[in-house]
Chain A
Amino acid sequence: MRFAPGSIGILVCAMTCFIGAAEPDHAPPAAHWSFVPPTRPVIPTVTDPAWARNPIDAFVAAERRKRGLTPLPPAAKDVLLRRVYLDLIGIPPTRQELHDFLNDASPDAYEKVVDRLLASPSYGQRWGRHWMDIWRYSDWSGYQMEVRDSQPNIWRWRDWIIESLNGDEPYDQMAREMIAADEIAPEDDRALAATGFLARNYYKFSRNVCLDRIVEHTSKAFLGLTLNCARCHDHKYDPISQKEYYQFRAIFEPFELRSHRVAGASADPKNPAELIRVYDAESTRPTYLFIRGDDKNPDSAPLPPGVPGVVGGTLNPTVVSLPVTAWYPGMRPIAEQDSIAAAESEIAKAQAELGKAQTALAAARHQAESVAVAATTQPATVQPATAPTPQLASAVIGDDFSRPRPDIWQVGDGQWDFKNGRLLQTMTGAMERRLVSLAPHPRDFSARFTFRITGGDRWKSVGLSFDHEDADHAVSVYLSACSDDAKAQVALKSGSVPIFPAEARVAMPIELGHDYELRADVQGTLVNVYVNGAMKLAYRLPQARRSGRLSIWAFDASAEFASVRVEPLANDVKLQGQSTPATAGKVEPAVDPRKSVAVTEQAFDRATLHLLTVQAKRSAIEAGIAADRARFASPPASEAESLMVAAGRLQRQAAFFDARESLLSAEQAAATASASGNEKEAVEKQKSVAERQKAVEAARALIDVQTRSYSPIGKEYSKTSTGRRAALAGWLTDRANPLTARVAINHIWMRHFGEPIVPTVFDFGKNGKPPTDQPLLDWLAVEFMESGWRMKAMHRLIVTSATYRMASSPPVDEKDPAPAAAFAQDEKIDRDNRYLWRQNTRRMEAEAVRDSVLLVAGQLDLTAGGPELDEYSALTSPRRSLYFRQAPEKQVLFLEIFDGASPNECYRRNQTVQPQQALAMSNSPLALANARLLATDLGKSNPDEGAFITAAFEQVLCRPPTEHEREACARFLADQADRLKQTATLQRFGAGEKVAVAPANDPKQRAREDLIHVLLNDDDFVTIR
């Protein structure tokens, strides 16, 4: 038989329930129930006042009465306790909590439990997970480390949800913060985390997809509207035009994502120190209607932002002026601290590198020398190395002052003149007039400085400094011709006040007009000072060495500099006051010692220069912060200008060091190429050297340019935000919005009863299903709004109602068949329990299953918050389930098996029954390990079998065993122990996942473990009755 047109008629007719409504243009929009704002309905008169505890019961009783339904009696106390625990905090009561409740005869015993549970931090973890379903929480996912979906650090939003619930933040406030915290609380990091709601929609490959998701799910989650159905054409069922879809999109059009640091010191976007948040980037970015939803085919005129007219109200955005820290996040104190800390950490790294390079160089030299000695020594007559000091590399810094050498020195303030082959400095006064080497000096070195002091006001000091970082950080060695205090001195500067240790001073006459050769040998922290070849002073520095440059200077002295020469100090030279080095024998033989020396020298030089670079960068950052603060102060600080100039100079100086580093690498590469005889390559490399030389010169030339221009340390964003999202948030949470409160309370209701009042939880439109009890829904919605959108109050109202407290199954009593008969009658009338003549039996959600296994075994770790945990660790880690990674294709398998939320969309959980769930409970290491742990624990206090069985039931199932159960379990304990004693015949299962807790050796104890394991698999464990 074929379908004649007539059969098609049947088909179409049969589909009237969803087709018939599809005439949006003709029906007055206000006609649909959900588009009319709820008003508080009159509470129906209760015919059985003893039954009704609060208005919820009155509404439910009225509907029930209409249909001739008889309510089931209240649930048993233990059933109710377990139900309300799992409902409110997602974990069952312990045995002790059960006993406390059963023993509390006070009339408000139950209410006390409810209040305690609502005050528990676990409440936020339970209900946070529910709202994470609705708001589509997803951790980031992508290909390897590439972020494709959602964003790293979105967990801060998860923690915000949980904390907000625990703090009983009003629902409307939460909605406002999720949509527009950057506009309504731009300086509040806690609130900004809420915008993870939007950040979660990030999709690497298409901004259109991202915006479509935001439109779809903002509308489904808060409004119960399928706005997404109007993307390609006017909505088929609801009076929502395609234009309105795009106007809704326009609200979000300007938004972008960025992250800023909230703790710690890292610029890694995946580092947990970052907060992901939204901001409006481009207020003028247009939104077009895409014809047929095709983004390649935009309509011509851009659309203003708007909200669907059918809901009522209008969108009135006001531009928001942002505080400076919002548009210039570099000004946030944490950002400043982090920038400096990051620079410090670079310095520490560079110092460590330099230390390593130093050690490597010393080792390489030692090796090279040993090889050299061995080569000139008869193998048969090895003697202690008394060979003359080998020729060292020539001076790393050397000048005879015959002419200016800008390639060697940075010249400081002073009156400088070249005369008679010498450099004269004639400006006196208590200030160092110095030349600072551009190049660093080796760590261990010998410096010889020949000069003459010709005059001065009082101190008449001339000398050199090493480890010179800046004017305040250096070690100085000098001679002073001060008339009453002539001396040779080692002085320390690590801060603005220099230290002149008494033990680092030798009084000696210093004549004006005489040449002196001041020689400083430095090895590690040991300094030997020679004057005119005579050893004068051996001093051990009280502090670790820093790296730096060499400076030569005159302090309150006129002087003539004759020559200076700095050479590396050979490793085997022993300075006075030095203990024997212990490293000598540990050197690894190198293949080619000379080559190795050259390579390590190069590395050492690079490390030395790099340290200078990062030090310069730190100075630049500090100056940049100072300039930022002055410039962005309100009003700008008077010294802003000079600070900006200074910041610019230091930044350019840092750039110069960067250029020098680059040059050095090129020079070294050229030298290597040249040494290896590859001429072509050497020529190439030489070209690069020349280019970089130019760059260095250019960078140097820029340093002293007087300009206010400097690079701010952070990025500047728009100083205003469009206010569109704030306006949306206001509209959404307005008392007159007909949908928001209804949709929210419907979600809350569903999670207490298993079934919602409006079955289509994300579609309150015409294609959705009508509420089973609209007066109840409306009363709850109005109550919700008028009690300040406080969710805890609504939970309390619901779980203390008589409706909630009903049993889910009739009592089985062979002597009294009435309840069963009433039940059967009710089932005939309302099989699906739409009108709540009983509670619904539910299966725990995935998270509750896992958390409860851990809880009953006393293992659950209730620690709150933090970055998402590895999804593979969920079978061994005792943290609550909602803290494990949840992203498309990255979920905890155990949770997936129990219908865990799809991160893409989950307005309502499935409740399947699958053999895989049975396998997960019977075979997973989670169930096995926790059963064993609980058996050990209970066994200690309950040596008696009967007591053990009772304790096990109470702890695992929150109820005592029935007589049948007790008998069966007692028999099991005996039989199972016997079975386990037959060791010869026992067969093990094949390899599976490792269980962290081994079974007991004692067959009796092992039987007890098995009993607990069975109870975890009992239907009553995963069921909320």
Chain B
Amino acid sequence: MPHDPSCRRIPRRAFLADLGMGFTGVALATLLQRDGIVRADLPAAAEPSAAWSPPTGLPMIAPRAKRVIWLFMIGGVSHVESFDPKPELDKYGGKTIAESPYKSTLDSPYLKKNLREVIVGLHKVQPRIFPMQVGHRPRGQSGIEVSDWFPHVGDCIDDIAVIRSMWTTDNNHGAQLQFQTGRHALEGALPTIGSWVHYGLGAMSQDLPSFVVLGTPFADCCGGMAGHGADYLGPEHNGVRLNVDPANPLPFATPGESVFRQEQEGEADLLRKLNQFSSVEYPADPQLRARIKSYELAFRMQASIPEVMRLEEEDPRIQKLYGLDQNVTRTFGRQCLAARRLAERGVQFIQVFHGSNGGAGEWDAHSHIKTGHTALCSQTDQPIAALLKDLKQRGMLDETLVVWATEFGRTPGSEGSDGRDHHPFGFSIWMAGGGVKGGIVHGATDELGFHAVQNRHYVTDVHATVLHLLGLDPRKLVVPGRKRLEIDFGTPMWGIMA
């Protein structure tokens, strides 16, 4: 069912406006102004910044997508063994980079310039070239080379824009948070891409949170809950974690049989009134505003969320498509299927984590990359492909942007005998769906897969692309008193846009 964002805006506004009915004064004005509701009625002097206006919740430019499914592989997926195969690695395997014809790789200015090492020398340039641990072949009409660890995603390659020229500044796992916020964990938490979308577009769904998190988020080492947080945008823009379990989709989803529905509705009415009085009393309390919204959402969620997670309602063929019938694919398959159901119901940003292990992440293949990546790919490949196919057959892929990403790639050289180290200089991600060309490769690394050399993109370019496709201008997403740097805004990847 298509959603018209402009229609969906009304109830939220109506709710907030209701808060103010019958009340006047500076306090209320402040409240409403903060929420961007009566901005036009206020004199410019009341604005924190005359040039600034809060987002209206409406697209700023023509949107190409309505929602995002953000699949994040925790720990660092090897780009050369996923979407950027490098035959030269096989050719020169065992030799050092200096002994290969690509010695100049090590002289590249990128080596120092785009890198900030938290612990200098911890993750070295691994000098000894390590052959690819899996085969690869051209896939689809487009013939894009994909590793044999991704046979199912390879089936969908003609719907995918592969970006082979990502780089980031840090070579430790604080880069996980960095991929969500644009800044490394060392610099503290900042709003994540999901929270910017939430802030920019407001809620499309009345019954579900607009920013949902599935799977286990980052460990505390690497950003923790800040990985789906909103930081200074305010807690109402945080991602909401849900379990893919219909019996227990979220805790305390029902008050139980001792309570009548009408009774709770009566209570909710009174609570609304009392909080409305409090809003007038405490106009400058952002927590209060967030709490009011959280209650409204909570009452609706308690009805809608268990239904979303009833995956057994899906056609058995669909369940099988996502691999729900197989142990190895079931967990991630359920998350991908839940993501599609959430997307159908109007959730705008669905962040799905894979590979959380309480530390750096399961994809972090310092050793045994072959067995490790084989297992992790078999957990994710079929469910991800199923998601793309399923969205497509429902006509939803055109308006749903699917992003597959990881914090960095892995070194072309070997670490120990059978691993690869962290590699921030060049790595791959892909996007598919709403507003993105299919079957294309954008950007490139050098022959060894070391440096991104063509159409280089820092992680915030991904954010800029996502925001642009959703109809938001990243440069307009600012809050007075919170300076954003040039690098935080990023630049949309025009080359992949359909």
User: What are the residues of chain B within 8 A of A545 when measuring CB–CB?
Assistant: none
Whole-angstrom distance between the alpha carbons of A2 and B458 in the complex?
A: 9
Q: Does B13 have its Cβ within 8 Å of any Cβ on chain A?
A: no
Which of B26, B114, B258 is the one whose CB lies under 8 Å from A999?
Answer: B258
User: What are the residues of chain B within 8 A of A1011 when measuring CB–CB?
Assistant: 270
State whether A11 touches B270 (Cβ < 8 A). Answer: no
State whether A920 touches B122 (Cβ < 8 A). Answer: no
Q: Interface-forming stretch among B248-256, B337-345, B398-406?
A: B248-256
Which of B116, B117, B122, B263 is the one whose CB lies under 8 Å from A976?
Answer: B263
State whether B487 touches A14 (Cβ < 8 A). Answer: yes
Which of B30, B122, B266, B302 is the one whose CB lies under 8 Å from A232?
Answer: B122
How far in angstroms is the closest Cβ of chain A from B349?
Answer: 16
State whether B254 touches A1014 (Cβ < 8 A). Answer: no
State whether B120 touches A233 (Cβ < 8 A). Answer: yes
Task: Tally the A-B contacts, defined by beta carbons under 8 Å.
Answer: 246
Q: Interface-forming stretch among A299-307, A633-641, A923-931?
A: A923-931
State whether A843 touches B287 (Cβ < 8 A). Answer: yes
How far in angstroms is the closest Cβ of chain B from A147?
Answer: 18
Q: Does B301 have its Cβ within 8 Å of any Cβ on chain A?
A: yes
State whether B287 touches A910 (Cβ < 8 A). Answer: no
Whole-angstrom distance between the alpha carbons of A89 and B86 in the complex?
A: 63
Q: Does B42 have its Cβ within 8 Å of any Cβ on chain A?
A: no
Contact digits for A1-19, partner B, Cβ 8 Å, 1 yes 0 no: 1110101101110110011
Considering the complex, which residues of chain A in the window 869-904 have a beta carbon less than 8 Å from any beta carbon of chain B?
888, 893, 897, 902, 904
User: What are the residues of chain B within 8 A of A236 when measuring CB–CB?
Assistant: 117-120
Q: Does A1019 have its Cβ within 8 Å of any Cβ on chain B?
A: yes
Q: Does A1020 have its Cβ within 8 Å of any Cβ on chain B?
A: yes
Whole-angstrom distance between the alpha carbons of A843 and B287 in the complex?
A: 8
Whole-angstrom distance between the alpha carbons of A1020 and B287 in the complex?
A: 11
User: What are the residues of chain B within 8 A of A2 when measuring CB–CB?
Assistant: 455-457, 491
Q: Which partner residue on chain B sits nearest A967 by CB separation?
A: B273
User: What are the residues of chain B within 8 A of A969 when measuring CB–CB?
Assistant: 270
Q: Interface-forming stretch among A584-592, A722-730, A987-995?
A: A987-995
Q: Does A1010 have its Cβ within 8 Å of any Cβ on chain B?
A: yes
Q: Does B264 have its Cβ within 8 Å of any Cβ on chain A?
A: yes
Q: A809-B281, A1013-B267 are in contact. Are A991 and B256 (CB under 8 A)?
A: yes
Whole-angstrom distance between the alpha carbons of A477 and B116 in the complex?
A: 95
Q: Which partner residue on chain B sits nearest A986 by CB separation?
A: B260
Which of B187, B251, B275, B291 is the one whose CB lies under 8 Å from A920?
Answer: B251
User: What are the residues of chain A within 8 A of B282 when measuring CB–CB?
Assistant: 809, 841, 1025
Query: How big is the B interface, by class?
Result: 35 or more
State whether A915 touches B294 (Cβ < 8 A). Answer: yes
Considering the complex, which residues of chain A in the window 10-45 have a beta carbon less than 8 Å from any beta carbon of chain B?
10-12, 14-15, 18-19
User: What are the residues of chain A within 8 A of B292 when measuring CB–CB?
Assistant: 1019
Q: Interface-forming stretch among A265-273, A435-443, A823-831?
A: A823-831
Q: Which partner residue on chain A sits nearest B229 by CB separation?
A: A912
Whole-angstrom distance between the alpha carbons of A820 and B26 in the complex?
A: 8
Whole-angstrom distance between the alpha carbons of A843 and B240 in the complex?
A: 19
Considering the complex, which residues of chain A in the window 806-851 have a beta carbon less than 8 Å from any beta carbon of chain B?
809-810, 812, 814, 817, 820-821, 823-824, 827-828, 831, 841, 843
Q: Which partner residue on chain B sits nearest A931 by CB separation?
A: B267
Q: Does B21 have its Cβ within 8 Å of any Cβ on chain A?
A: no
Q: A10-B487, A831-B481, A964-B277 are in contact. Are A918 and B254 (CB under 8 A)?
A: no
State whether B266 touches A989 (Cβ < 8 A). Answer: no
Considering the complex, which residues of chain B in the window 237-287 have a beta carbon less than 8 Å from any beta carbon of chain A?
238, 240-241, 250-264, 266-267, 269-271, 273-275, 277-278, 280-285, 287
How far in angstroms is the closest Cβ of chain A from B420?
Answer: 17
Q: Which partner residue on chain B sits nearest A997 by CB separation?
A: B258
How far in angstroms is the closest Cβ of chain A from B261?
Answer: 5
State whether A924 touches B252 (Cβ < 8 A). Answer: yes
State whether A989 touches B259 (Cβ < 8 A). Answer: yes
Whole-angstrom distance between the alpha carbons of A561 and B53 in the complex?
A: 116
Q: Does B298 have its Cβ within 8 Å of any Cβ on chain A?
A: yes
State whether A8 touches B253 (Cβ < 8 A). Answer: no
Which of A911, A919, A964, A1019 is the one whose CB lies under 8 Å from B302?
Answer: A919
Q: Does B61 have its Cβ within 8 Å of any Cβ on chain A?
A: no
Considering the complex, which residues of chain B in the window 118-155 have a beta carbon less than 8 Å from any beta carbon of chain A?
118-122
Whole-angstrom distance between the alpha carbons of A1010 and B259 in the complex?
A: 10
How far in angstroms is the closest Cβ of chain A from B218?
Answer: 13
Q: Does A381 have its Cβ within 8 Å of any Cβ on chain B?
A: no
Whole-angstrom distance between the alpha carbons of A633 and B229 in the complex?
A: 64
How far in angstroms is the closest Cβ of chain B from A966?
Answer: 11
Q: A767-B186, A915-B301, A1019-B288 are in contact. Are A992 and B256 (CB under 8 A)?
A: yes
Contact digits for A281-321, partner B, Cβ 8 Å, 1 yes 0 no: 00000000000110000000000000000000000000000
Q: Which partner residue on chain A sits nearest B454 by CB separation?
A: A2
How far in angstroms is the closest Cβ of chain A from B222?
Answer: 13
Q: Does B25 have its Cβ within 8 Å of any Cβ on chain A?
A: yes
State whether A922 touches B266 (Cβ < 8 A). Answer: no
State whether A987 touches B262 (Cβ < 8 A). Answer: yes
Q: Which partner residue on chain A sits nearest B23 by CB separation?
A: A964
State whether B298 touches A915 (Cβ < 8 A). Answer: yes
State whether A1019 touches B236 (Cβ < 8 A). Answer: no
Contact digits for A988-1025, partner B, Cβ 8 Å, 1 yes 0 no: 11111111001100000010001101110111101101
User: What are the residues of chain B within 8 A of A1020 when measuring CB–CB?
Assistant: 278
Whole-angstrom distance between the alpha carbons of A205 and B64 in the complex?
A: 51
State whether A915 touches B209 (Cβ < 8 A). Answer: yes
Which of B118, B256, B274 is the one whose CB lies under 8 Å from A925?
Answer: B256
Whole-angstrom distance between the alpha carbons of A987 and B301 in the complex?
A: 18
Listed residue (B30, B238, B266) with the most chain A CB atoms within 10 angstroms of its CB: B266
Listed residue (A843, A912, A962) with the most chain B CB atoms within 10 angstroms of its CB: A912
State whether A914 touches B235 (Cβ < 8 A). Answer: yes
Q: Does A691 have its Cβ within 8 Å of any Cβ on chain B?
A: no
User: What are the residues of chain A within 8 A of B24 when measuring CB–CB?
Assistant: 814
User: What are the residues of chain B within 8 A of A828 when measuring CB–CB?
Assistant: 48
Q: Does A679 have its Cβ within 8 Å of any Cβ on chain B?
A: no
Considering the complex, which residues of chain B in the window 468-498 have a beta carbon less than 8 Å from any beta carbon of chain A?
481, 485-487, 491
Whole-angstrom distance between the alpha carbons of A19 and B291 in the complex?
A: 38
User: What are the residues of chain A within 8 A of B48 when measuring CB–CB?
Assistant: 828
Contact digits for A239-281, partner B, Cβ 8 Å, 1 yes 0 no: 0000000000000000000000000000000000000000000
Whole-angstrom distance between the alpha carbons of A19 and B290 in the complex?
A: 35
State whether B251 touches A916 (Cβ < 8 A). Answer: yes
User: What are the residues of chain B within 8 A of A8 when measuring CB–CB?
Assistant: 113-114
Q: Does A67 have its Cβ within 8 Å of any Cβ on chain B?
A: no
Contact digits for B165-197, partner A, Cβ 8 Å, 1 yes 0 no: 000010000000000000000110000000000
Whole-angstrom distance between the alpha carbons of A824 and B119 in the complex?
A: 44
State whether B256 touches A841 (Cβ < 8 A). Answer: no
Q: Does A117 have its Cβ within 8 Å of any Cβ on chain B?
A: no
Q: Does A385 have its Cβ within 8 Å of any Cβ on chain B?
A: no
Which of B250, B267, B486 is the one whose CB lies under 8 Å from A919?
Answer: B250
State whether B120 touches A19 (Cβ < 8 A). Answer: no
State whether B491 touches A928 (Cβ < 8 A). Answer: no
State whether A10 touches B486 (Cβ < 8 A). Answer: yes
Which of B113, B225, B284, B302 is the one whose CB lies under 8 Å from A809?
Answer: B284
Q: Does A917 have its Cβ within 8 Å of any Cβ on chain B?
A: yes
Q: Which partner residue on chain A sits nearest B273 by CB separation?
A: A968
Whole-angstrom distance between the alpha carbons of A823 and B285 in the complex?
A: 12
Q: Interface residues, chain B, CB within 8 Å of chain A?
A: 24-27, 30, 48, 109, 113-114, 116-122, 169, 186-187, 209, 220, 224-225, 229, 235-236, 238, 240-241, 250-264, 266-267, 269-271, 273-275, 277-278, 280-285, 287-288, 290-292, 294-295, 297-299, 301-302, 358, 455-458, 481, 485-487, 491
A selection of 11 A-B contacts at a CB cut-off of 8 Å is A2-B456, A824-B26, A902-B220, A912-B235, A917-B291, A923-B252, A976-B270, A989-B260, A991-B257, A992-B254, A1022-B291
Instruction: List 15 additional contacts besides A18-B187, A922-B255, A989-B255; criterion CB under 8 Å.
Output: A7-B487, A814-B25, A841-B282, A912-B229, A919-B250, A919-B252, A976-B263, A979-B262, A989-B256, A990-B254, A992-B252, A992-B253, A992-B256, A1014-B274, A1019-B287
8 A-B pairs with least C-beta separation: A992-B256, A918-B298, A913-B290, A915-B298, A992-B254, A913-B235, A923-B255, A923-B252
